[in-house]
Amino acid sequence: MKFSAFAALSLAAAVSAGPTFQRRAAFTLQNGKDAIALNAKFSKLTADSSCQTGEDACVDNKFAQCVSGKFVTQQCGGGLICAALPLVNSAGTSITCTTAADRDARIAATGATATAGGDPGAAAGGSAAATSSAVNNAASGVAGNAAATSTSAAAAATSSAAAASGGDNSDPQKSLTLVQSVIATGFENDGQDQPTVGQVPSATSSNNFINFCATVSNLPITNGKQIATGSCNPAPMGVIASTANMPSSKFVNPKNGATIPANQNFTIQMAVSHLETGHFTNAQENYFAAPQVVNSAGDIQGHSHVVVEALTSLDQTTVTDPTKFAFFKGLNDPAKNGVLSVEVAGGLPAGAYRVASINAAANHQPVLVAIAQHGSLDDMA
């Protein structure tokens, strides 16, 4: 498991005998002391230790995040351990998966030393270990958590370290480091500054929830697959359509309440607006695997679906079973004159039915819009 956040992956962290090492920043020593203190604290934690929701830590050498007052742990991969490390280019620390040697070398490079009761292995190490570990960490995709609020250290990493990591720090879309300009600081607010009856606090994050799926280790990563037993999706939501670009659809045929002959071909037609249809990805390999995007006019690029479900009667009040339907079809072609169409070959047996749309972005996620209060983005007849 790779924990990607504001990684301070820089060969500049290496200890050297040259003048560069001598010119430590004012915060460097304190960063080392803080890392030592955190590692000492983590050494005393267990899975049963009390914690605050959203808190990150290391528990039994595993990356841990507090969920509902209890630590949820995730094993570091490749023989790595979880540790607090001093940041290089800014004040603070990061929590990441690394090696003991790298932890020790990075702390030693700050000039900090463990005091009595501190982590006995947190202030040892030399320049060679620091240099090699910086590259190894990059190769492992190692990254920190919300405490690391600067991306300058990652930018300072050498091109060889970037190449080893499989990332390119010059390109934000390939970098394994979260770019500071995209941090949504509002995500740190749980919304309870103005309490409302029945309103629950939101989960919070200071690193855009980039490691959220590490808190639900019982579920696999969605990873482009439709996993019937459930999964956790790390992809961001993407571009949210403005109020002026909210999609809408209305069935042209069959009309609401219409009666059509049983067991005969008929065509479903649906008018749609503010959805640039004709955009769909491989649902078996790219399901929910990319953010929603819009075109130059601000309309969501996507497609639609129609689903027909059997009812016991037109005035049925019991809920339906979403796993059962009489007809389903993805409408992948571009709309013609604003209308999407599909033939239901052979028709349907006599009975009562409802037909509904599922308007979606290209990667099959339901369309997302700018405000909570709006008319339905789909239709049903």
Measuring CA to CA, which residue among 251, 239, 372, 340 is closest to residue 297?
239
Please write the tens of the pLDDT for every residue from 288-309: 999 999 999 999 999 999 999 9
The alpha carbon torsion through 281, 285, 287, 289 (nearest 10 deg) reads -90
Contact between 269 and 326 under an 8 Å Cβ cutoff? The reply is: no
Contact between 69 and 53 under an 8 Å Cβ cutoff? The reply is: yes
3 state SS of 328: strand
Token code pair at residue 346: 């052979």
Please write the tens of the pLDDT for every residue from 336-351: 999 999 999 999 999 9
- In 10 A of CB 51, how many CB atoms? 19
Mean pLDDT calculated for residue range 243-249 = 97
Tokens 């991969």 sit at which residue? 77
Please write the tens of the pLDDT for every residue from 66-106: 887 888 887 887 678 899 998 877 788 888 888 888 899 88
Token code pair at residue 292: 């929603």
Q: How far apart are CA 30 and CA 86, in angstroms?
A: 9
Residue 57: which H helix or E strand, with range? strand 56-59
Task: Write down the mean pLDDT value for the chain.
Answer: 81
The alpha carbon torsion through 151, 155, 156, 162 (nearest 10 deg) reads 120
- pLDDT for residue 41 is more than 80: yes
Mean pLDDT calculated for residue range 99-117 = 82
- In 10 A of CB 329, how many CB atoms? 15
Mean pLDDT calculated for residue range 262-273 = 98
Question: Percent of the chain scored above 70 by pLDDT?
Answer: 78
pTM listed for this prediction: 0.59
- pLDDT for residue 372 is more than 60: yes
pLDDT of residue 291: 97
Domains delineated in the chain: 11-182 (no CATH), 243-361 (2.60.40)
- Angular region, 49: left φ>0, alpha ψ -120 to 50, beta rest: beta
Question: Percent of the chain scored above 90 by pLDDT?
Answer: 54
Token code pair at residue 38: 């955190």
pLDDT of residue 167: 53
